[in-house]
Chain A
Amino acid sequence: MAQSEFEIDLGNLMAFDLHRQFPSTFSSREELVKEAIEQGTKLVQAVADALFNKPSTEELDGPIVKLPAPTTKLPREKPLPKPRPPTKWELFAQKKGIDKHKKDKLAFDEQTGTWKRRHGYDRVNDDKDIPIIEAKMTDEPGTDPFAERRKEKKSRVEKQEKNRLLNLKQAAKVGALPSHVQLAATALPITGTQARPQKVGKTELQNVAGMASTATASGGKFDKKLPGEKPPKHEKKYRKFLPAVEGSGMGALEKQQTEKVLNKLISKNSHDVLNVEKAVNMYNVKKEKKRRNNEGKPSTRSKLKPNKKSLKKTSKRVSSSKGKQAQQYEILYTKFCPLRPPLPSLLSSASFYIEGRREGTKRAEKRRKGDIFLEKFKF
């Protein structure tokens, strides 16, 4: 019954008494120690009960018991090893169904008529053992067949080295490089995950150099150029302007484009930003107020002034209170809702815009330079 009282992890030889609670104050330290050790003895006894009752095998040193896996999970110290990806040859062999079999270390050498090692020093078919090479009809005069043989061998070795490096490169990509192989850029012995050293390419360097050169207040205009330094690459898109005039092939592309943008904006924000009725009401009320004020203290000056200017004033106030966006939507509203009573604050400029597009004359040319408000707002 004692076992059920404690939590026992036999794999770690650990017992845990989770029911016992100690009084926070002991009269003396000795008492605490005594109590702790007494309880500890009970726990250890409980573990031992489970341990010594397990089947054991007698050895010279003592009885040996098979421990179960620990139940308390502890973290690993390093990540799990990744399997090495198959080499190119292994892939090929698998595809072709070639089995790997071991070759004998010794092979019979026909040149000398003895058994020799297959590889290494004093091996089978060693170049040193070939005194004569038979000439063939295809041989070109003046070439040394021995030298050619040596050259061939060298190229074979080089090719194998290249293949080996390629395979290692593949393994490094997956992060499964053999532990003793180390990329030259890393200084410390690699254990655990091997982060690939970042290769700094030519383009990256150029980009960084370009960025650095434009980092001055003048955008690098007055800096001395280094020998071989190129102007920074233009990263952004160049702005393109479609012809405002309806040409033969283009049609009304420009119109379509701007309308698309405007429609999108209006449809997106019409609900929450501009309450049309409210805006109209507000305008009406304001107008009314102004009218009344003017009636209260009539002055000849205000009557003489053109109507337009007073309107402009109100528009300014609206814009300052509602911000730039509201102003912008007022314009849009006047443009796209011609049936409703227009908000006259910026009507003049809006109509200018529409005219400008229709005429497609000098005004359109002007617009290209960014004079028109639409571009100022930056959609």
Chain B
Amino acid sequence: MMKIKTPKKGRIKRDLEKRAPKLVETAKKTLILHGTKTSSVLNSLLTEIYHLKKDNAVKYSRRNDNIRPFESGGETSLEFFSLKTDCSLFVFGSHSKKRPNNLVIGRTYDHHIYDLVEIGVENFKSLNSFTYDKKLAPQIGSKPFFAFIGEGFESVEELKHLKEILLDLFHGEVVTNLNLAGLDRVYVCTAVSSTKIFFTHCALRLKKSGTVVPRMELVEVGPSMDMVVRRHRLPDDSLRKEAMKIAPELTKKKEKNVTKDAIQGKIGKIYIPDQKVGSVALPHKAKGVKRERREAKMKDEVHRSADKKQKQHSE
């Protein structure tokens, strides 16, 4: 007989239910990890990414010798941490002679690595090096704007991939109702060359413009850096297909024959089958209309005319 285990305490049960797969998913959690060696740049960068994502991120402070996301066998403990902390995004910093200031950003699907992008960090400017009015500082967990500039994000495969990952990393939760007063941050990514982007985080200042739409003003608050794409690994096609699935319950069926109009409101089209006015039998036919009589009459006439002709001949 199969043995089963159920949590004894309600708190644990609730926690497990939070981890279960959901139809509509909540925000992805991020795991922040250190490699064998990290430079001071990486240390402060990882801390700052943690600060940017403080509402749903887990930061590990120990060094991990056996995490090498791009190598086979180097992902086992990463996947284990992903399972343990229920994180599906990870940021892994490592520093080596070959790849200085290395940052691996990756996603997991079902706690297995989905895709990876490796970037080198250059010209890093920390949060603290910016001076600005502290009132403008973005709130934790606010929904950010994204600005991607440059055709490289469309034409170069690595940058396209990086764009998707950066969006996934920072976009927070997918919301349906958005408070316009809470908009206060922008991530600006600029493709400088085919492998390099300039990434910065700005606060948003809404200024009066006289219309409904306020005038936007960006104030750089940091961190800002150049990201140089090194290695990257795209997901398997089959895995991608699996991960991109949308629940059939959520897809709306197209409503046919109904249009909505601002003035007239809801308008429906109704189809009525052809009435076949010509061919349908009338319930009660008048004597003269009856077919047999009409035909008989016509026959009669023909006969009569024929008779007349015959008569003429005979005469």
Chain A residues engaging chain B, CB cutoff 8 angstroms: 11-22, 24, 29, 32-33, 35-37, 39-41, 43-45, 47-49, 51-53, 56, 59, 61-67, 69-70, 72-81, 165, 168-169, 172, 179-185, 188-193
B129: interface (CB < 8 Å): no
A24-B192 in contact given A75-B243, A79-B110 (Cβ < 8 Å) = yes
| A40 with B202: CB separation less than 8 A | yes
Within 8 A of A (CB), among B103-149: 107-111, 114, 123, 143-149
| A44 with B179: CB separation less than 8 A | no
Which residue of the partner chain A has the closest CB to B241? A75
| B244 with A56: CB separation less than 8 A | no
| A44 with B17: CB separation less than 8 A | no
- List, in ascending order, chain B residues with CB within 8 A of A81's CB: 20-23
| Cα(A65)–Cα(B175), bound, Å | 10
Query: Smallest Cβ distance from B244 to chain A, in angstroms?
Result: 6
Query: Smallest Cβ distance from B215 to chain A, in angstroms?
Result: 7
B235: interface (CB < 8 Å): yes
| A52 with B214: CB separation less than 8 A | yes
B4: interface (CB < 8 Å): yes
Partner-binding segment picked from B33-41, B150-158, B285-293: B150-158
| A52 with B23: CB separation less than 8 A | no
| A18 with B154: CB separation less than 8 A | yes
A13-B146 in contact given A36-B198, A45-B215, A51-B180 (Cβ < 8 Å) = yes
- List, in ascending order, chain A residues with CB within 8 A of B270's CB: none
Within 8 A of A (CB), among B47-87: 83-84, 86
- List, in ascending order, chain B residues with CB within 8 A of A47's CB: 145
Mark contacts of B169-204 with chain A using CB atoms, 8 A cut-off: 1 yes-contact digit, 0 otherwise: 001001111111111001010111100001010101
Which residue of the partner chain B has the closest CB to A183? B4
Chain B residues engaging chain A, CB cutoff 8 angstroms: 1-7, 12-13, 15-17, 19-23, 25, 28, 83-84, 86, 88, 107-111, 114, 123, 143-154, 164, 167-168, 171, 174-183, 186, 188, 190-193, 198, 200, 202, 204, 212-218, 220, 224, 235, 240, 242-245, 247
| A32 with B192: CB separation less than 8 A | yes
Query: Which 10 pairs of residues, A with B, have the shortest CB-CB distance?
Result: A62-B181, A179-B20, A77-B88, A75-B243, A40-B188, A184-B3, A14-B146, A43-B147, A78-B21, A191-B19
For the complex, would chain B's binding face be called helix, strand, loop or mixed by DSSP majority? mixed
Which residue of the partner chain B has the closest CB to A63? B180
Specify which of A17, A29, A44, A76 is in contact with B109 (CB 8 Å cutoff): A76
| A37 with B200: CB separation less than 8 A | yes
| A181 with B86: CB separation less than 8 A | no
- List, in ascending order, chain A residues with CB within 8 A of B200's CB: 33, 36-37
Specify which of B109, B111, B242 is in contact with A191 (CB 8 Å cutoff): B111
A179-B213 in contact given A14-B145, A36-B149 (Cβ < 8 Å) = no
Specify which of A22, A65, A67 is in contact with B150 (CB 8 Å cutoff): A22
| B2 with A59: CB separation less than 8 A | no
- List, in ascending order, chain A residues with CB within 8 A of B7's CB: 180
A22-B20 in contact given A52-B213, A52-B214 (Cβ < 8 Å) = no
Specify which of A35, A45, A63 is in contact with B179 (CB 8 Å cutoff): A63
| Cα(A40)–Cα(B198), bound, Å | 12
| B5 with A37: CB separation less than 8 A | no
| A193 with B110: CB separation less than 8 A | yes
- List, in ascending order, chain B residues with CB within 8 A of A76's CB: 25, 109, 243-245
Query: Smallest Cβ distance from B199 to chain A, in angstroms?
Result: 9
| Cα(A165)–Cα(B4), bound, Å | 8
- List, in ascending order, chain B residues with CB within 8 A of A63's CB: 179-181
Instruction: Kindly name the residue among B145, B168, B213 whose own CB sees the greatest number of chain A CB atoms within 10 A.
Output: B145
| Cα(A190)–Cα(B17), bound, Å | 10
| A48 with B216: CB separation less than 8 A | yes
| Cα(A192)–Cα(B214), bound, Å | 44
A77-B28 in contact given A22-B190, A24-B193, A36-B149 (Cβ < 8 Å) = yes
Query: Smallest Cβ distance from A85 to chain B, in angstroms?
Result: 16
Instruction: Kindly name the residue among B148, B178, B182 whose own CB sees the greatest number of chain A CB atoms within 10 A.
Output: B178
| Cα(A48)–Cα(B179), bound, Å | 13
Specify which of B4, B107, B146, B204 is in contact with A12 (CB 8 Å cutoff): B146
Query: Smallest Cβ distance from A251 to chain B, in angstroms?
Result: 55
Specify which of A65, A182, A188 is in contact with B180 (CB 8 Å cutoff): A65
| A65 with B4: CB separation less than 8 A | no
| Cα(A36)–Cα(B196), bound, Å | 14
- List, in ascending order, chain B residues with CB within 8 A of A24's CB: 192-193
Query: Smallest Cβ distance from B235 to chain A, in angstroms?
Result: 7
A19-B151 in contact given A48-B216, A72-B167, A78-B109 (Cβ < 8 Å) = yes
Which residue of the partner chain A has the closest CB to B211? A52
- List, in ascending order, chain B residues with CB within 8 A of A190's CB: 16
| A184 with B4: CB separation less than 8 A | yes
| B180 with A62: CB separation less than 8 A | yes
| A64 with B19: CB separation less than 8 A | no
- List, in ascending order, chain B residues with CB within 8 A of A16's CB: 147-149, 153-154
A80-B109 in contact given A17-B150, A20-B150, A183-B4 (Cβ < 8 Å) = no
- List, in ascending order, chain A residues with CB within 8 A of B204's CB: 44
| A44 with B13: CB separation less than 8 A | no
Query: Smallest Cβ distance from B11 to chain A, in angstroms?
Result: 11
| B17 with A13: CB separation less than 8 A | no
